[in-house]
Amino acid sequence: MTILTLIPFVGALVAALAPGPRAARTVGTGFLLAALGFAVFLALGYDRAAGGIQFTEHHEWIPALGVEYFVGADGLSLMLLLLTTLITPFALLAAGPSISRLSVVLILLLETTLIGTFTALNFIHWFVFYELSLVPAFLLIRSSGTKASTVAALRFFIYTLLGGLTMLVGFLAIQLATGTFDLVQLASMGPSLDGILATHFHWPFAGMLVFAGVFFGLAVKVPVVPFHTWLPDAYAEAPSPVTMLLTGLMSKMGLYGFLRLLLPLFPQRMQELATPLLWLALATILFSAFTALAQTDLKRMLAYSSVNHLGYCLLGLFAVAAVPLGAPTARAAAMNGVLLQIFNHGLTASALFCFAGFLENRSGGLRGLRDFGGLRTAAPVFAGLMGIALFSSLGLPGLNGFVGEFLIFSGTFHLVPWAAALAAIGLFVTAVFLLDAIQSLFTGPLPPQWEKFPDLTRGEVALVTPAVLLMFVLGIYPQVLIALFNKP
C-alpha cells in the first residue's frame, strides 16, 4: 500500500526534476502506468474468500494525538484504487503534449493524495490526504489562468475546506469521546457511538451535531444539492483533463467518505434520517437533471449530468441505510449498484470530459451545444466514440452505465419504492438532455465553419479506445468488478 502511494509521489519528484515538459510527461506517464500495474497486481492478489481489509500496515505516527499510520484496502478501496490509477494516466494523456511540467507534477501529486485517501484507515491519516488533494486540484483548476477559472478554483477550495473543517471538528468530538481515530475500531463500535457521544458531552444532540458536521463535509465534496454551487463553475472552467480528474476521482472521495465514515459509524443516525437524506438525493438527481437540461454549454451540461449520476449513488446508499435489516437481495443489489456506479461514472464522466476537451481544442474554446451541428459527417470517429460514451452515461443496456443504475434502481425499488419512482423521473430527464446533446452536436446541417473540423488523430483514438472498450466490457461482464466486493 505504501509502495502504491509512493509510486506517483516519486514520479512527481522525478518529473519536477525532468529537463523539460516533454520529458516530464513521459516520466509521469511511466510512473502512472506503473501505479496502474501495481494496483491491478494488488487487486489480483486480494483474497476474495477472506474479504475484509487486507494489505494492512500499521505504524505509530503521532501517539500523543492517537494518530497512526494505518493503511489497508478492502474491495471498495481496491476498486477506487483501480479507478484512480486508470483515470489519472487517461487524464494526463488527454491533456496532450502541450501540458506544462508543473501540471504533470501536480497530477502525480493528486494521484498520491487520492491513493492515500482511499487506503487510509485512521481518520487523521485519511484527512491529511483528503485535504492535501485540494492543493494540486486548486492549482490545476486555475492553471489556465482565466479570471473565471481563478474564481472557480478559489470557490472550490474554500467550500471544500470549510466542509473539511466541520468534518474535522466532528471527528475531534468523536476522538474526545472514544479516544481513537482508528476507523476500523470506530466502525466496530458504530451502533453505540451515538450513545457514547451523548454521554461524553452530556448532551443528547451531540451525536446529531457530529453527524451533521461530517455529513456536511462529505456532501460538499460529492456534492449533494444544495451544497453543489461550487461545482459547475469549477468543472466548466477547469481545463478538461483536470475536470476529468475532478469528476472521475475527486467526487469519489466524497462518496468513499460516505461509505467508509458515515455508514459504518452512524448506521442508526442514517436510518433515522433516511427520509430527509433520500429527499436530498432526489433533489440532487432531479435538480441537476433539470438544470442540465437548460444548459447550452457542453461542459456545464456534463457537469450537472455528473452531479445527477452521483445522485443515483447517493440514492442507493441512503436506501440501503434506510432499511438496515431484511431484504438482503435488494440491499446487496443496491449496494453493488452503488459501487459499480462509482466506477462507471468515474470512467464515463472522465471519458466525456475528455471528448469535450477534444472538441474545445478543435473549436478554439467554443463549447456551446448550439455552436455545433452535423459533426457526424465532418468527424465520424469522434462522433461515434463520443456517442458511445454519451449512451453509456445515459444508461443504455450493454454499456457499463446501465448495470450500475439498473442495480441501484432495482434495489431501491424494493427498499424505498417512492424514492425510486421519483428518481426515475430523473432518469427520464437524463435521457432527454443527453439525447439532445447528441442531436445538436452530431446531427443536423453542418455549419460552414466546421466543414474542416478535423477528426480524432490516431493518438487520440488510441487513448480513448481502451476507455470505450472498458465500457463495453463492464456493460457486458460487470462481474469483473462485482467480484471484488462480494465473497464468492
Partner 1 sequence: MRNAERKEDLAGREGRIFPVSGLRLPVFPSNFSMILNATFLSAFAGALLVLVLPERWTRWIALAATLAGLGFAASAFPAFDNSPSAPHFQFVTELPWIPTLGISFHTGADGISLVLLLLTGLIAVTGVLFSWNVVLRPRAFFAFYLVIIGGVYGVFQSFDLFLLFVFYEIVIIPKYFLIAAWGSTNREYGAMKLTMYSAAGSALVLLVLLATYAASGAHSFDLFTLADPSKAAFAPGFQAWAFPVMFVGFAVLAGLWPLHTWAPTGHVAAPTAVSMLLAGVVMKLGSYGALRVAMTLFPLGLAQWRIPIAVLATAGIVLGALVALAQKDLKFTVGYSSIAHMGFVLLGLMTLNLSGLGGAVLQMFSHGIIGGLLFAVVGRMIYDRTHTRDITELGRLSLAKTLPFAAVTFTIASVASMGLPGFSGFIAEFTILKGAWTAFPSLLIPAGLGVVVTVAFTLIALQRTFYPAGEVPASPPPQPPITLPEKLGALLLMASTLVIGVFPSVLLDPILRSFESPLMHGLIQGGPR
**Which positions touch partner 1 (CB under 8 A)?**
60-65, 124, 127-132, 134-135, 138-139, 142, 145-151, 153-154, 157-158, 161-162, 165, 168-169, 172-173, 175-176
- The DSSP code sequence of 124-188 is HHHHHHHHHTHHHHHHHHGGG--HHHHHHHHHHHHHHHHHHHHHHHHHHHHHHHHS--BHHHHHH
Nearer to partner 1, 54 or 175 (CB): 175
Nearer to partner 1, 139 or 390 (CB): 139
Q: In 3D, which of 88, 78, 81 has the Cα closest to residue 32?
A: 88
Half-sphere exposure of 246 (CA within 13 A, CB side): 37
* Cα separation values, 301 from 18, 290, 374, 440, Å: 38, 10, 19, 13
Half-sphere exposure of 287 (CA within 13 A, CB side): 17
Nearer to partner 1, 146 or 192 (CB): 146
- The DSSP code sequence of 22-87 is HHHHHHHHHHHHHHHHHHHHHHHHS-TTT-S-EEEEEEEEEGGGTEEEEEEE-HHHHHHHHHHHHH
Q: How far is the CB of 150 from partner 1 (least distance, A)?
A: 4
Q: How far is the CB of 88 from partner 1 (least distance, A)?
A: 20
Q: How far is the CB of 113 from partner 1 (least distance, A)?
A: 9
Residue listed under C-alpha cell 466532528: 170
Contacts of 286 (CB under 8 A, 6+ apart): 422, 423, 425, 426, 429
Q: What is the DSSP letter of 226?
A: T
Nearer to partner 1, 128 or 327 (CB): 128
Nearer to partner 1, 128 or 293 (CB): 128
Q: How far apart are CA 197 and CA 204, in angstroms?
A: 8
Q: How far is the CB of 448 from partner 1 (least distance, A)?
A: 31
Radius of gyration of the CA atoms of the chain, in A: 22
Nearer to partner 1, 138 or 402 (CB): 138
Nearer to partner 1, 148 or 421 (CB): 148
Q: How far is the CB of 286 from partner 1 (least distance, A)?
A: 31
Q: How far is the CB of 135 from partner 1 (least distance, A)?
A: 5
**Burial category of 272 from C-beta neighbours within 10 Å (exposed 0-12, middle 13-18, buried 19 and up):** middle
Nearer to partner 1, 63 or 364 (CB): 63
Nearer to partner 1, 66 or 267 (CB): 66
Q: How far is the CB of 125 from partner 1 (least distance, A)?
A: 9
Q: How far is the CB of 211 from partner 1 (least distance, A)?
A: 17
Q: How far is the CB of 100 from partner 1 (least distance, A)?
A: 11
Answer for the pair 415, 319: CB distance below 8 angstroms, yes or no.
Answer: yes
Half-sphere exposure of 459 (CA within 13 A, CB side): 7
Q: How far is the CB of 64 from partner 1 (least distance, A)?
A: 5
C-alpha cell at 403: 448495470
Q: How far apart are CA 347 and CA 243, in angstroms?
A: 12
Ramachandran quadrant class, 373 (left: phi over 0; alpha: psi -120 to 50; beta: rest): left
Nearer to partner 1, 175 or 430 (CB): 175
Single-letter amino acid code for the residue at 132: L
